[in-house]
Chains A and B, each alone.
Chain A
């Protein structure tokens, strides 16, 4: 992590040597593995047409969602994008409900109404799943405003990609959150490409944390391929937000190993560039660290993989056995039904 916005960023300390409790590090590894193996299975399911529509995978980016979610409390809110499988799983939404949603089943976390791009969960205050680039940022600002007006000390974590930074909604939301000193943690997952167009082809200033700093909010660059660095930065930022420090911004520098979506032939990226980033894969990086330090013994990784594989198998079986919502309910939830009205969250 490097400092940004000179004079405005607290020293968050060296992260590489931080000693974590062993079981916590294994937990991080497990979470990243769950996301990775889940998404790899999604590819298979897509091939056999069990999943359709747009499917955006975050393979390579698992450390971002995993690290940030560790810093949040159950009552905090999350707003994410259409590349949000990892965020959903790391937030604690069941793999079963997530996979059922991808298969369009009524047991899915959005009853099959949303699909891969629109995963929602009221129990964990997970507000989507927004597939309009930049469209989630104003929502996050409003959720934070509601928390502030009601005297809550919740944090709203808002995820978006580098592409969103070019949208007007990004700048409007940065300004409003900073102006009103709202408890938002902006998490920019900078994977260097807005779909197929490289950052330097879309931004006059490619240092994205600098843009956020111009709105007078603490803004840090983070190695998004290092889950411990992400968690550490997120904990510092969340602490700052929760203690009344106003919005904070994390630029998580990451990379997606696979194409933008299943329809993308990935012509715009150099193979050597992709391979170069794969050498920084966050999952083997952490596994090797834990093995070298003796936290993981022989066979531990295999056992972890087997447990995760079993969870994925179970989720697919659950989704496959799920039910299609009755077509008679097509128009349900266009507007609220009296029985669906819930107390204010």
Chain B
């Protein structure tokens, strides 16, 4: 075991992929000489050279589209976009090309592309660097969307994503990069199709993903002190959703709280709630509850940002209401 940060785990994953497969290359803004805007790719340019760690112009649409083209042409690109907010500049390429080419071509052209991007708030970066728009991408058939919330997943999701013949988006919550923990020295690929129960419990299911997993686990800890046994489900894959794991848990606990840093309206939390209601409505002892971000563009001031984001106390309170 070694002590590593989430950032280092992700770097190990990229480095491993670059070593394992000559077709893999990393491309994005400031991934080379700068070392990555969140320092994920620090040192990789020096090790692998500028052909395989490519700094791009500030042209999200062109370099994401070039990633799609390179994937069509036999490569296995990893494209880094600085934040999900910036990915909107490449939305055309992701939604109109990456997600559609296999289908439109009648199965002839698959797009084995991985796009990584930072998501989420909590660092006082205000309304153009903080949103959680992964739910939009999870809406689109033809895309796979992943949210690594743990060191094992930061280390292990990239390789299976690269092995996937179709486009995969990986959403890395910006608040996780500095989190530190123990990671096995032989940590490697993980399954990318299932949700995981991160903490078993009997009284309520808290569903979370990415940055909100910490919130959910802290809430479960606080609830345990009050004698409430909360199960925490980490979605891991946002599309396709592992509905079976979610509803199996809720069928046992009979209560569900969905925590989502996205806005409530039209969100992933809405999708998860709907699936619970569709599948295990008669097992519920209380309505499904949601804890989401306030419906505001993310504010800068610390106290306002905190007020806008799902907090541990909000989750604890939501569970309390379900049990009242």
| Real binding pair | yes
Chain A residues within 8 Å of B, Cβ to Cβ: 77, 108-114, 118, 120-122, 127-130, 132, 135, 137-147, 149-150, 168-169, 172-173, 175-176, 179, 332-337, 340-342, 344-345
Q: How far is the CA of A334 from the CA of B100 in the complex (A)?
A: 8
Give 9 nearest A-B pairs by CB, closest first: A142-B69, A138-B65, A146-B73, A111-B106, A344-B74, A172-B62, A142-B66, A120-B105, A172-B59
Q: Check if A340 sits within 8 Å of B59, measured CB to CB.
A: no
Asked whether, in the complex, the Cβ of B65 is within 8 Å of the Cβ of A137, the reply is yes
Q: Let me know if B110 is at the binding interface, CB within 8 A.
A: yes
Residues of B within 8 A of A109 (CB): 106
- Known contacts: A77-B73, A176-B56, A334-B142. The answer to whether A113 contacts B106 by CB under 8 A is yes
Question: A108 CA to B105 CA in the complex, in Å?
Answer: 10
Residues of chain B lying within 8 A (CB to CB) of residue A175: 57, 59, 62
Q: Flag the segment in B30-38, B90-98, B177-185, B278-286 that touches A.
A: B90-98
Contact A146 B101 (CB under 8 A): no
Closest to B110 in A: A336
CB-nearest residue of chain B to A118: B104
Which of chain B's residues have a CB closer than 8 A to the CB of A150? 73-75
Q: Kindly state the separation between the CA atoms of A138 and B63 in the bound complex, as whole angstroms.
A: 7
Please determine whether B70 and A332 come into contact, CB atoms closer than 8 angstroms. Answer: no
Complex contact B62–A132 (CB within 8 A): no
Q: List 12 A-B contacts (CB under 8 A).
A: A77-B73, A135-B96, A139-B97, A145-B66, A145-B70, A146-B74, A172-B63, A173-B65, A175-B59, A333-B102, A334-B102, A340-B107
Q: For B66, B77, B102, B141, which residue has the most chain A Cβ atoms within 10 angstroms?
A: B66
Render B257-285 as a binary contact track against A, CB cut-off 8 A, 1 for contact: 00000000000000000000000000000
- Complex contact A141–B69 (CB within 8 A): yes
Complex Cα spacing A60 to B2, Å? 68
Residues of A within 8 A of B25 (CB): 149
Q: Does B48 contact A (CB under 8 A)?
A: no
Answer whether residue B192 sits at the interface, using C-beta atoms and an 8 A cutoff: no
CB-based contact A139/B68 at 8 Å: yes
Q: Could you tell me the distance between the alpha carbons of A172 and B66 in the complex, rounded to whole angstroms?
A: 10
Task: Judge whether A130 and B142 touch: CB under 8 Å.
Answer: no
Q: Which of A121, A139, A142 has the most CB of B within 10 A?
A: A142
List the B side residues contacting A335 at CB < 8 Å: 102, 142, 144, 165-166
Bound CA span A67–B243, Å: 54
CB contacts (< 8 Å) of A114 on chain B: these are: 104-106
Q: Does B64 contact A (CB under 8 A)?
A: yes
B109 and A138 contacting across the interface, CB-CB below 8 Å: no
> A342 vs B144: C-alpha distance in the bound complex, in angstroms?
20
Q: Contact between B64 and A138 (Cβ–Cβ < 8 Å)?
A: yes
Q: Which residue on B lies nearest to A182, using beta carbons?
A: B66
**Which chain B residues have a beta carbon within 8 Å of chain A's beta carbons?**
23, 25, 51, 56-57, 59, 61-75, 77, 92-93, 96-97, 101-110, 141-142, 144, 165-166
Query: Which residues of the partner chain A approach B165 to less than 8 Å between Cβ atoms?
Result: 335-336, 341
Q: For the complex, what is the distance from the CA of A111 to the CA of B103, rounded to whole Å?
A: 9
- A334, B59: Cα distance in complex, Å: 28
A179 and chain B: residue at smallest CB distance: B57
Chain B: minimal CB distance from A337 (Å): 8
Minimum CB–CB distance from B278 to chain A (whole Å) comes to 19
A139: chain B residues within 8 A (beta carbon): 65-66, 68-69, 72, 97
Q: A145-B75, A334-B141 are in contact. List 7 more A-B contacts (CB 8 A).
A: A122-B109, A129-B104, A137-B62, A141-B62, A142-B66, A333-B105, A336-B110
Task: Compute how far the CA of A324 lies from the CA of B88 in the bound complex, rounded to whole angstroms.
Answer: 37
Chain A residues whose C-beta falls within 8 Å of the C-beta of B51 in the assembled complex: 149
| Alpha-carbon distance A122/B106, docked complex (angstroms) | 10
**Chain B, Cβ-Cβ closest to A345:** B74
Which of A112, A147, A168 makes the CB contact (< 8 A) with B73? A147
Contacts A175-B57, A336-B165, A336-B166; A128 near B70 (Cβ below 8 A): no
Residues on the B chain within 8 Å of A176, using CB: 56-57, 59, 62-63, 66
Q: A169-B61, A175-B57, A175-B59 are in contact. Are A141 and B66 (CB under 8 A)?
A: yes
CB distance B74 to A140 under 8 Å? no
Given contact pairs A129-B104, A130-B97, A135-B96, A142 touches B109 in the complex (Cβ within 8 A): no
| Shortest beta-carbon distance from B296 to chain A in Å | 29
CB B111 to nearest CB in A, in angstroms, measures 9
> What's the minimum C-beta distance from A43 to chain B, rounded to whole angstroms?
24
With a cutoff of 8 Å between Cβ atoms, the chain B residues found around residue A342 in the complex are 110
Residues A173 and B106 in contact in the complex (CB < 8 Å), given A142-B73, A143-B73: no
Would B63 and A143 count as touching, CB distance under 8 A? no
Tell me how far the C-beta of A159 lies from the nearest C-beta in chain B, rounded to whole angstroms.
15
| Contact call A142/B72, Cβ cutoff below 8 A | yes
> Which chain A positions have C-beta within 8 A of B64?
138
For B96, the chain A residues whose CB sits under 8 A away are 132, 135
A173 to B65, CA, bound (A): 9
